[in-house]
Amino acid sequence: MPWLQIWLEAGREGQVFTYANSPETPAGIGDLVRVKLQGRPHTGLVVGWLDQLPASLSSKRIQPILEIWQRAAVDPDWQNLMTSVAAECHTSLFKTLKSALPPGWLGQRNQGPSRPSRAIWLVERSDAALLSQPLTERQQQLLEHLGRHSGPVPLRDLCGEAGFSRAVLKGLEARGLVQRLQAPPEGSGAGLAPAHWPALTEAQASAVQAISGAPAGAEFLLWGVTGAGKTEVYLRAAAQALELGQGTLLLTPEIGLIPQLLDRARERFGCRVVEFHSGLSDGARVAAWRRCLEPEAVVVVGTRSAIFLPMPRLGLIVLDEEHDSSYKQDSPMPCYHARDVARLRARHSGARLVLGSATPSLESWLSCQSPQPASRLLRLPERIGSRPLPAVRVIDMRHELADGHRRLISRALMGRLEQLQEKGEQAVVLVPRRGYRAFLSCRSCGEAVLCPHCDVSLTVHRSKGGQEWLRCHWCDHRAEMGNRCGHCGSTAFKPFGAGTQRVMEQLASELEGLRLLRFDRDTTRGRDGHRRLLDRFAQGEADVLVGTQMLAKGMDLPRVTLAAVLAADGLLHRPDLRSSEQCLQLLLQLAGRAGRGEKPGEVLVQTYSPDHPVIRHLVDGRYELFLAEESQLRRQGGLVPFSRACLLRLSGPSASGTATAAAALAERIRSQVAAAGWLLIGPAPAPVARVAGKSRWQLLLHGPAAQPLPLPTESLLREGLPAGVGLAIDPDPLCL
């Protein structure tokens, strides 16, 4: 390898730099090396090599590498995976690497695997509640963190993944609240002994057996109703992988679901569990990355980006709640779906892939249906303890109106909420939108008040003191309420639609003494925002949790017996190919929050469209019938996934400039697209045509399923674009 191709973070998009290899200590692919660029040292990754220099480069001008910074920083298999992902996502290896590697990774030299014997272990020593002097917030968080572990926690986990500073530790140590140990006490940190694992149900046992007995690269769809014990199946399969010295990637779609899964994984596997998601600091992510490269196999609990963690011996990949759209990355490129990357990875590495859900995506269900299915369906048909699924009651809001009841909350729901406290039960109430009011419109001309930077209306928010202001949910622009109408100059406005804040207010005024908590993006900010709010609710601080879509996702709250949807209509009528599928998934998931404990649950759905097919299937609970019907419709219409779509999204500062660029791009690709038998639709303005001051246009390509995109490479596509106009290629967009 005389000439090395090296990726530098400092380089332009798609650029590789050529350097001369060192004859004495040659570097290889996957090594990190130090090189000089414009007189300054940089760290780069060797991604390829050349036998001969192209004619355009003269060997005299090529500099040698300075030193090898770290050998085998990424293994060749991993780099092959990156190359495949880049190809599938129609983008460069460089963008893919940039997206996959944790921020700050290049700059840090690996100290080599840390030796467990040198690690210091920390335990909680006495009860902080008895203290006279208060603790700082970080100190409290650290104690909480320790308290969640069954045994001692290695220092490197606290300072690395969990991101606590040494000062916080020292403060607690000085007060005798934590203790340092030089080595883990015998048998601790190892997790729960197998003798204490729950005995599997028959369905769980056969699922575990199917997974562990399967050939390398096998794929499964684990379909179990909410509360059926899917997580237990994942943990068992992960335990078997560990026994073989293989690691597991256990993914969940939402950062809010991490704590719950992490607790269960830590209880089972102790300190062999590694946390990875965007809520961690850069340093913590780099530490987690390194940990995965160490010889001891680990179980990673993470969100979608964890699919890229290097795992030299990967045995199992699990995507929990595989139907969730958060697994899809829309920007920046690569626009990947973690499920597709997982499938590639399973094939590359021989790992088994398990997709789990109570409401599988149409795609995953279909891949179990063909005569020679790519994926095997494993079912967990019953809730643990044979607990019944909640009954669904639809409240026809048209009747409420006809009876002269004009409130947001129907009488039936009111009645149920009134009884909660007396019965010692809890409820979750889903409101499709956060904020106070959905939008404001002008009383004179009827126009909605729009964000000055985006083509969307502003949402009314309210502070604790009752002060109201306007916010854009797309770009976070804030504005005062009392402005003049931009269309007619009137100063009179009328609010429409209720958000979570308004629902809270209504509930509080109509049901005195009912204790409420709000669960939306505004109340769950920060690192542990979700967890703290859910902990407070679980501890009985409130009777009702009012929240947005986040409520439906995966949490296990045994005292919740009622799940309600206030305005299902806002969810039903979206102009999107997957609108029905996603809406039914959301409602079934929400229903799954009710009745997980001793008492049976109930679901109340308020809607003006009780005959909508989604509502019908919610009531009859026949999700598989829905999937069969939906796939029939899509097959007849030649829609995704029976065909393939690709979106080219353009954005630029000027509306006309972006439109012209989109039209020119369409002309450039038109003949290639047509020659391949594909359709080119557009250019057209994006559904929201302006966001944060940028105009957005799109081109849609439509062609046969599973065929390669009839497009030139990304860099060629980009070449013809005017400066300032951005392009994203989304090869299989979720929103259509």
Residues lying near ligand ADP in the complex (CB under 6 A) = 198-201, 204, 224, 226-232, 384, 556
- 488 annotated ligand-binding residue: yes
Of 198 and 388, nearer to ligand ADP (C-beta) is 198
Minimum Å gap between C-beta 716 and ligand ADP is 46
Q: Whole-angstrom Cα distance, residue 399 to residue 335?
A: 45
Residue 332 preceded by cis peptide, ω within 30: yes
- 454 annotated ligand-binding residue: yes
- 89 annotated ligand-binding residue: no
Minimum Å gap between C-beta 222 and ligand ADP is 9
Minimum Å gap between C-beta 489 and Zn ion is 7
Secondary-structure breakdown of the chain: helix, strand, coil percentages, each rounded to the nearest 5: 35, 25, 40
Of 168 and 228, nearer to ligand ADP (C-beta) is 228
Of 360 and 652, nearer to Zn ion (C-beta) is 652
- 722, 680 in Cβ contact below 8 A? no
Q: Whole-angstrom Cα distance, residue 125 to residue 129?
A: 12
Q: Which of 84, 45, 146, 106 lies closest to 285, judged by CA?
A: 106
User: Which residues lie closer than 8 Å to 444 by C-beta, 6 or more apart?
Assistant: 485, 488, 490, 492
- 520, 568 in Cβ contact below 8 A? no
Minimum Å gap between C-beta 204 and ligand ADP is 6
- For residue 474, the partner it binds in Zn ion, ligand ADP, none, with Cβ less than 5 to 8 A by kind, is Zn ion
Count of beta carbons in the 10 Å neighbourhood of residue 731: 23
User: Which residues lie closer than 8 Å to 232 by C-beta, 6 or more apart?
Assistant: 198, 200, 204
- 113, 107 in Cβ contact below 8 A? no
Residue in this structure with the two tokens 């700050």, named with its chain if needed: 104
Q: Which of 138, 137, 141, 124 lies closest to 175, judged by CA?
A: 124
- For residue 477, the partner it binds in ligand ADP, Zn ion, none, with Cβ less than 5 to 8 A by kind, is Zn ion
- 335 annotated ligand-binding residue: no
Interface residue list for Zn ion (CB under 5 A): 442, 444-445, 451, 453-454, 472, 474-475, 477, 485, 487-488, 490
Buried b / exposed e along 74-112 (16+ C-beta atoms within 10 A)? beebbbebbebbbebbbbbbbbbbbbbbbeebbebebee
Of 75 and 556, nearer to ligand ADP (C-beta) is 556
- 342, 302 in Cβ contact below 8 A? no
Of 184 and 253, nearer to ligand ADP (C-beta) is 253
Amino acid identity at 196: H
- 438, 496 in Cβ contact below 8 A? yes
- 368 annotated ligand-binding residue: no
Edge-first strand order for the sheet with 493-498 is 478-480, 468-471, 459-462, 437-442, 493-498
- For residue 445, the partner it binds in Zn ion, ligand ADP, none, with Cβ less than 5 to 8 A by kind, is Zn ion
Residue in this structure with the two tokens 């560990």, named with its chain if needed: 242
Of 405 and 478, nearer to Zn ion (C-beta) is 478
Minimum Å gap between C-beta 150 and Zn ion is 46
DSSP codes, 519-563 = ESTTTS-STTHHHHHHHHHHTTS-SEEEESGGGGSS---TTEEEE
Of 161 and 232, nearer to ligand ADP (C-beta) is 232
Minimum Å gap between C-beta 459 and Zn ion is 10
Minimum Å gap between C-beta 451 and Zn ion is 3
Coil, strand or helix at 628: helix
Minimum Å gap between C-beta 267 and ligand ADP is 10
- For residue 277, the partner it binds in Zn ion, ligand ADP, none, with Cβ less than 5 to 8 A by kind, is none
- For residue 487, the partner it binds in ligand ADP, Zn ion, none, with Cβ less than 5 to 8 A by kind, is Zn ion
Q: Whole-angstrom Cα distance, residue 237 to residue 401?
A: 53
- 159 annotated ligand-binding residue: no
- For residue 454, the partner it binds in ligand ADP, Zn ion, none, with Cβ less than 5 to 8 A by kind, is Zn ion
Of 200 and 676, nearer to ligand ADP (C-beta) is 200
- For residue 486, the partner it binds in Zn ion, ligand ADP, none, with Cβ less than 5 to 8 A by kind, is none
Minimum Å gap between C-beta 437 and Zn ion is 17
HSE, CB side, 13 Å, CA atoms: give it for residue 445.
11
Of 126 and 483, nearer to Zn ion (C-beta) is 483
Q: Whole-angstrom Cα distance, residue 275 to residue 266?
A: 10
Minimum Å gap between C-beta 319 and ligand ADP is 13
Of 151 and 495, nearer to Zn ion (C-beta) is 495
What angle is formed at CA 380 by the lines to CA 599 and CA 219, rounded to 5 degrees?
A: 145
Of 58 and 386, nearer to ligand ADP (C-beta) is 386
Q: What are the angstrom distances between the C-alpha of 228 and each of 381, 384, 449, 506, 584?
A: 7, 5, 46, 35, 19
C-alpha dihedral, 33 to 35 to 37 to 43, nearest 10°: 30
Of 179 and 209, nearer to ligand ADP (C-beta) is 209
- For residue 257, the partner it binds in Zn ion, ligand ADP, none, with Cβ less than 5 to 8 A by kind, is none
- For residue 485, the partner it binds in Zn ion, ligand ADP, none, with Cβ less than 5 to 8 A by kind, is Zn ion
Write out the E strands in 252-294. 273-276
Residue 76 CA from chain centroid, whole number? 27
Minimum Å gap between C-beta 614 and ligand ADP is 22
- For residue 200, the partner it binds in ligand ADP, Zn ion, none, with Cβ less than 5 to 8 A by kind, is ligand ADP
Q: Whole-angstrom Cα distance, residue 173 to residue 168?
A: 9
Minimum Å gap between C-beta 582 and Zn ion is 24
- For residue 490, the partner it binds in ligand ADP, Zn ion, none, with Cβ less than 5 to 8 A by kind, is Zn ion
The sign of the CA dihedral 608, 613, 614, 618 is: positive
- For residue 453, the partner it binds in Zn ion, ligand ADP, none, with Cβ less than 5 to 8 A by kind, is Zn ion
- Binding site residues for Zn(2+), as ranges? 442, 445, 451, 454, 472, 475, 485, 488
- Binding site residues, as ranges? 442, 445, 451, 454, 472, 475, 485, 488
